[in-house]
């Protein structure tokens, strides 16, 4: 009897799966523990919930926005809010409630910021202890588990980009395996010797494997450095987040065709119940969404102004519109430049204003010069407010409003 088996004998309903690796590449013995304890030594059964223990929406007047308290999303989230004139004031990093001073007297005066771990933000949205949150889509998908109360208000906040992916070793029996289909078709995986996958995504990873027809799979978990698991002989494959791909490469692992489970970036997520039932949440969400959209639309855009000789505004407009990079958001704004002449005023030049994406900036300048533009001024844009944001309309329709 193994050490693990004798240890788990103490628990009547725990099951232990011991897999000998004698027929595997590594000579060490690996133990897999499927541990389910349905009763324990406490007098009454213990129920753990994350968030409030009632089933009712908690009574409160404040509207709560959950932000990541630590980890790689924390700073980027605060930076984004700052760029939207929503700077969060946290007196010290260990204080988990904060405020947004700029909005004290505005529409958002009722808004409280709570710092939480990303997974707890999702759990607390579900339990009704938070109304809004900013986290990665991977966290929403993993801990929200398709819960219909979670609504994506903004699905692309343009930071925290990564993807959740399955990766296998480049070497050994996987050397020539390059797709999920090839992995599923490998004869090695049987009920007795399943494919061993290490992951922190205990919901998404099994769902993905099932959807890909992999029947014989066993999962193990760890809190970090999962990429070491195959080389340590603990797992055959891993499911983890990838952004630059460096960690996979450095650990001799590869992604395979069809192995991407989810593309992720930061999102603004809300509780449907809060949006519908809690007074003020919908208005606050509208305002935050407008600010986010206006800022994100402006990122990477420049205002370009230039002077151009011409006989009238239409003639200048025609010349500008022959150039593909100069059409701006809705078309160029053209105004006459008045100068003194012979005791009166005359118009020889027109000032043009257009918005240009950062990547087309130099090409735009070249095109402007080619059609007679001079005195080209370039300044970054802070906000672009459109008439109405499409995401707001989408949100109302998701809510049936």
Ligand X SMILES: Nc1ncnc2c1ncn2[C@@H]1O[C@H](COP(=O)(O)OP(=O)(O)OP(=O)(O)O)[C@@H](O)[C@H]1O
For residue 102, the minimal CB distance to ligand X (Å) is 26
By CB under 6 A, is residue 227 in contact with ligand PRP? Answer: yes
By CB under 6 A, is residue 241 in contact with ligand PRP? Answer: yes
**Would you tell me how many other CB atoms lie within 10 Å of the CB of residue 213?**
11
By CB under 6 A, is residue 244 in contact with ligand PRP? Answer: yes
- x-marked contacts with ligand X along 156-175 as a string, rule CB under 6 A: ----x-x-------------
By CB under 6 A, is residue 371 in contact with ligand PRP? Answer: no
Structure-block tokens of residue 296: 């994100």
Residue with Cβ nearer ligand PRP (86 or 266)? 266
Q: Which residues contact 83 (CB under 8 A, 6 or more apart)?
A: 295
Distances (CA, A) of 239 to 60, 203, 245, 257, 342: 40, 11, 13, 14, 77
For residue 299, the minimal CB distance to ligand PRP (Å) is 22
For residue 165, the minimal CB distance to ligand X (Å) is 11
What is the Cβ-side half-sphere exposure of residue 148, based on CA atoms within 13 angstroms? Answer: 2
How many chain residues bind ligand PRP (CB under 6 A)?
A: 11
Residue 68 contact partner, candidates ligand PRP, ligand X, none, CB within 5 to 8 A by sort of partner: ligand X
Structure-block tokens of residue 281: 């949440």
By CB under 6 A, is residue 312 in contact with ligand X? Answer: no
Structure-block tokens of residue 34: 């499927």
For residue 235, the minimal CB distance to ligand X (Å) is 18
Round to whole Å and give the CA distance between 97 and 63.
Answer: 12
The interface with ligand PRP within residues 291-330 (CB under 6 A) comprises none
* From 71, 206, 245, 300, residue interacting with ligand X (rule: CB under 6 A): 71
What is the Cβ-side half-sphere exposure of residue 31, based on CA atoms within 13 angstroms? Answer: 12
For residue 73, the minimal CB distance to ligand X (Å) is 5
For residue 196, the minimal CB distance to ligand X (Å) is 22
Distances (CA, A) of 221 to 204, 232, 237: 13, 14, 12
Q: Which residues contact 28 (CB under 8 A, 6 or more apart)?
A: 21, 233
Residue 141 contact partner, candidates ligand X, ligand PRP, none, CB within 5 to 8 A by sort of partner: none
Residue with Cβ nearer ligand X (224 or 343)? 224
* From 73, 153, 284, 354, residue interacting with ligand X (rule: CB under 6 A): 73
Round to whole Å and give the CA distance between 83 and 226.
Answer: 35
Residue 227 contact partner, candidates ligand PRP, ligand X, none, CB within 5 to 8 A by sort of partner: ligand PRP
Do residues 273 and 126 make contact, with C-beta atoms less than 8 angstroms apart? no
Residue 118 contact partner, candidates ligand PRP, ligand X, none, CB within 5 to 8 A by sort of partner: ligand X
Structure-block tokens of residue 343: 């005791």
* From 6, 18, 147, 243, residue interacting with ligand PRP (rule: CB under 6 A): 243
For residue 246, the minimal CB distance to ligand PRP (Å) is 4
The interface with ligand X within residues 118-157 (CB under 6 A) comprises 118, 136, 138-139
By CB under 6 A, is residue 224 in contact with ligand PRP? Answer: yes
**Would you tell me how many other CB atoms lie within 10 Å of the CB of residue 31?**
14
* From 52, 243, 335, 374, residue interacting with ligand X (rule: CB under 6 A): 243
* From 85, 110, 220, 247, residue interacting with ligand PRP (rule: CB under 6 A): 247
By CB under 6 A, is residue 224 in contact with ligand X? Answer: yes
For residue 356, the minimal CB distance to ligand X (Å) is 30
By CB under 6 A, is residue 68 in contact with ligand X? Answer: yes
By CB under 6 A, is residue 250 in contact with ligand X? Answer: no
By CB under 6 A, is residue 241 in contact with ligand X? Answer: yes
By CB under 6 A, is residue 120 in contact with ligand PRP? Answer: no
Which residues of this protein are in contact with ligand PRP, per CB under 6 A?
A: 224-225, 227, 240-247
Which residues of this protein are in contact with ligand X, per CB under 6 A?
A: 68, 71-73, 118, 136, 138-139, 160, 162, 224, 241, 243, 264
């Amino acid at each position: 009897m193994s050490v693990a088996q004798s240890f788990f004998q103490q628990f009547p309903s725990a099951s232990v799966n011991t897999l000998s690796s004698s027929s595997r590449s590594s000579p060490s013995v690996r133990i897999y523990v499927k541990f389910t304890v349905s009763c324990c030594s406490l007098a009454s059964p213990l129920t753990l919930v994350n968030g409030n223990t009632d089933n009712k929406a908690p009574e409160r007047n404040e509207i709560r926005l959950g932000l990541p308290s630590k980890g790689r999303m924390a700073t980027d989230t605060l930076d984004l809010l700052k760029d939207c004139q929503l700077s969060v004031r946290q007196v010290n990093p260990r204080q988990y409630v904060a405020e947004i001073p700029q909005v004290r007297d505005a529409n958002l005066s009722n808004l409280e910021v709570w710092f939480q771990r990303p997974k707890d933000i999702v759990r607390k949205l579900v339990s009704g202890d938070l109304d809004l949150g900013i986290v990665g889509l991977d966290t929403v998908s993993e801990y929200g588990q398709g819960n219909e109360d979670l609504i994506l208000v903004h699905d692309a906040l343009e930071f925290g980009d990564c993807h959740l992916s399955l990766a296998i070793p480049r070497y050994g029996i996987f050397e020539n395996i390059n797709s999920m289909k090839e992995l599923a078709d490998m004869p090695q995986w049987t009920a007795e010797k399943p494919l061993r996958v290490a992951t922190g995504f205990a919901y998404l990873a099994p769902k993905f494997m099932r959807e890909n027809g992999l029947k014989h799979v066993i999962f193990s978990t760890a809190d970090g450095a999962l990429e070491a698991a195959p080389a340590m002989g603990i797992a055959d494959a891993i499911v983890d987040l990838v952004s630059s791909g460096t960690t996979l490469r450095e650990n001799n692992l590869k992604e395979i065709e069809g192995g991407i489970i989810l593309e992720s970036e930061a999102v603004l997520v809300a509780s449907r119940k809060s949006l519908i039932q809690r007074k003020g949440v919908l208005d606050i969400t509208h305002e935050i969404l407008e600010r986010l959209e206006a800022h994100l639309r402006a990122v990477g855009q420049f205002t370009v102004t230039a002077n151009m000789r011409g006989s009238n505004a239409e003639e200048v407009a025609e010349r500008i519109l022959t150039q593909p990079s100069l059409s701006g958001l809705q078309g160029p704004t053209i105004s006459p430049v008045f100068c003194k002449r012979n005791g009166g005023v005359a118009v020889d030049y027109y000032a043009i204003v257009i918005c240009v994406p950062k990547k087309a900036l130099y090409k735009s300048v070249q095109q402007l010069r080619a059609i007679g533009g001079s005195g080209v001024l370039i300044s970054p844009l802070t906000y672009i407010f459109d008439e109405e944001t499409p995401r707001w309309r989408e949100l109302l329709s998701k809510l049936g409003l």
